[in-house]
Structure 1
């Protein structure tokens, strides 16, 4: 431990990052059985830890979605795409009926397409063609009216990118994003018919994922050349009103980093709970929808008051204890604007794979967790990683 502390102290000379908090972050990453932790401050690498695991590309899970978003911005900059308001039917002429003709690229980017989807992905992985799977799905809501974290819709977005680029998503990003950043050791998973996945699929080295964050923190510039326009970074990472309203503070497939965290039992939370508890009990919690709580204890107290201390409350208690994580598709937190603007943005994937970018203080952090069979016990998602990175710098 002394060696690690000395190394951190050396790296941090001249930096305003709190060395003790950084050391605590490293220890927290170690205790959560992380596969890798990378932290940059002011463009300098201050932590690179692999905790004994081999350095190889790690599947970043749903953090892949945020990389897909970058492809859209690059296409617009190159004039291959007019705007995010182009309808999907432009690229798939038969995509009409039931309101599908109204779906735009913006809707796919903001989880507001209305395409019917499940919270899990089993039905997607069981299909041979992920894009067709999305095209064939009916609508559950009119486009632009509701938020639903939608893996199926992002797979369709990957297809749209390929149509607009004139080549598959992975090949386009290889030329426009990965090669300019010197990223060569990566893999992008495809469905059985060869479509690059959009909802997940990117396996990448931890430090290469950090490179993408460094480029974004520098306004989209890498080694003097613009890779992603600053205008797109600003637009795509700006949290949308609809996502805030539904307790999912996201922009164009990026999560917003709020300056304080508050809990909310949202419509989405209730829908998930219905899959794991009697619907009759969950429906009794409807009066609590979209109320904001300072912490888990106050949220649990509100549910107890509504249900009483008996069997129904005890049935819900395990689910209530899952509240309190940073925003995700399944355990939302919200910031209602009382704590100031979002100081950064991040990509997030299953198992706790993160890329956190705080441009205002020039901090980039990556935590990755490989689904490695050598790991024993449950894989810890390090739920408070974003908050731990935010704590490194005072005044945010």
Structure 2
């Protein structure tokens, strides 16, 4: 490794902003020059840097329902190939007074995609005025590529970096963590170097390691710390809300029926659904593999309530976004507060976490299935609290018994890795099998024969979990076919196999979002990405992450002896 990255191992308290320069990038290339220049420029306040004000808004800014609805419509229009329509949606809501950073940032992408680079630059200026603090995204986001050669673009990146540094100071991001070096933490430095290289190669925006309760390091690969969308790792925080309410006595237990909060669910199969069924994806609630139908609804909680329960609750495991959105409504009924407000008071504030946002549906419900934006190092604090059995700085936050329930053992008999919206980590023997039944189901539903023929080469053969996703996508031939395959092969899909007890648990989201808690090794690791198109989706998932983290603390396998 070179430059700042190599210094980080010797001085692990340094927060690394400069990317690890890949071996294929010459040191004199424009890529490496820009990466090395911008952090220095921010520190020295270069002459071309435009003045910017520190963020003035509270950390938990509530984005208006009108802005949320417009962003959803814009995203769906862009997904349909009409970026100009999406841009018009965002411009209209902005002009109506709903002037949020997220609106401006999304409008910049859509203006650029529509070919209006001048307007895209204007939108970025507006986003920066509202506190945009992700210089790495400006450097790497695929949608902004047409802007990077324009005059003044580098100055925008510098402004974003200054915003990020100011926001960290203002909101105390990561406050309360002592620091240690990799050597003091007992981490393998060669394994750490390997992890960092792999993290950058996979398009990571942030990586954080805690060992023995101390911060070993933060790495941001050309950017700075900023709030990152946790995707489905949000579900892990939703599970904590239920545990906190049980600890308060506001919910009797996870076996409490949903009808205790929504009496309209007292009859039929709905009357059998408990909180535990919602938390372990066995509710039987009708759900699709994608979330487009959910985003089209105006009230995600009501949409879940009005859906049918189509399978006997507890009879099978089926990943369910609707069920998690319903939990947001249950938290509100039990606590008297919106879920994000409740978690801010009961979880984030005690941990010193002040800079977060939570997406809302058009009716103002915090989204349960995704939508929490948090700094990686603050996510690591949540993981550390869980690793410590629910305590933080000597104070009890969450009961140890609930943490054991969510991450200590399988929560149902169908999927060995499913806890309560957290996923169990097995150190040895984790494998995944693509069954012939899934391929036949996909064939019956019209999935193309050519990729099915390639997938049959790996059918009914256990593949180590760390290698499965890459192997599957390689045989599929096109990562864009993944969603269609999951839809058409349901409910069969993949089968998991494990050996031995779990070593830890993780909150996991699309794009390789990970909050990894390993009590056996007294280790917490967080990896997050911005899903900005800098690498292909299958690379972004960083499926080797858990194995490489374990490599930090486990001895390397002995070399084979000559015979």
Length-normalised TM-score, structure 1: 0.83
Deviation at 1:70, TM superposition (A): 0.7
User: 1:266 and 1:394, CA in 2 relative to 1: closer, same or farther beyond 3 A?
Assistant: same
Are the structure 2 counterparts of residues 47 and 269 from structure 1 closer, same or farther at C-alpha, using a change threshold of 3 Å?
farther
Q: 2:408 aligns with which of 225, 235, 238?
A: 238
- Counterpart residue number, 2:274: 104
- Within 2, Cα distance between the matches of 1:131 and 1:268? 33
Q: Secondary structure of 1:176's match?
A: helix
> Which SS does the other structure have where 1:35 is aligned?
strand
Q: CA deviation at 1:371?
A: 3.3
Give how far 1:15 is off: 2.8
Q: Which residue of 2 aligns with 1:259?
A: 427
Alignment map for 1:1-396 (pairs within 5 Å): 1-2=1-2, 3-10=4-11, 11-240=181-410, 242=412, 245-246=414-415, 249-260=417-428, 261-265=430-434, 273=442, 277=447, 293-295=462-464, 332=494, 334-337=496-499, 340-372=500-532, 375-379=533-537, 380-394=540-554
Contact 1:9 1:19 in 2 (8 A): no
- Does the 8 A contact of 2:185 with 2:216 survive in 1? no
The corresponding residue for 2:70 is none
How far the C-alpha of 1:395 sits from its partner, in A, is 6.3
- Give 1:51 shift: 1.0
The answer to whether the 8 Å contact 2:386/2:403 transfers is yes
1-structure distance, mates of 2:404, 2:437: 27
The structure with higher relative contact order (CA 8 Å, sep 6+) is 1
Kept after mapping to 2: 8 A contact 1:353/1:367: yes
Report which stretch shifted further, 94-103 or 264-273: 264-273
Alpha-carbon contact 1:55-1:205 (below 8 Å) kept:
yes
Q: Distance in 2 between matches of 1:268 and 1:203?
A: 38
Q: Secondary structure at the match of 2:350?
A: helix
Alignment partners' CA distance in 1, 2:188 and 2:492: 32
Tell me if structure 2 keeps the 8 A contact 1:240–1:251: yes
Aligned in 2, Cα 1:316/1:360: closer, same or farther, shift over 3 Å?
closer
Deviation per residue, 1:76-112 (Å, 9 max, x gap): 1111110001100110011144411100001000100
RMSD of aligned Cα (Å): 3.3
Q: For the Cα contact (< 8 Å) 1:262–1:292, is it kept in 2?
A: no
Report the CA distance between 1:5 and its aligned residue. Answer: 3.4
Count, aligned residues: 367
Question: Which is helix-richer, 1 or 2?
Answer: 2
Q: Deviations over 1:122-181 (max 9, x none)?
A: 000000010111111112211000100000100011111111111111111000000000
The whole-number CA distance in structure 1 between the counterparts of 2:361 and 2:343 is 18
**Does the 8 A contact of 2:298 with 2:362 survive in 1?**
yes
* Residues 298 and 363, structure 2, Cα contact 8 Å, conserved in 1: yes
Corresponding residue SS for 2:185: coil
**Match of 1:263, SS?**
strand
* Aligned counterparts of 2:317 and 2:464: Cα–Cα separation in 1: 24
Aligned with 1:138: secondary structure? coil
Q: Which digits, 9 at most, give the CA deviation of each residue in 1:56-92, with x for residues without a partner? A: 2110000000011011111111111100011001100
CA distance in 1, matches of 2:511, 2:8: 28
Rg: which structure is higher?
Answer: 2
Q: What displacement does 1:22 show?
A: 0.9
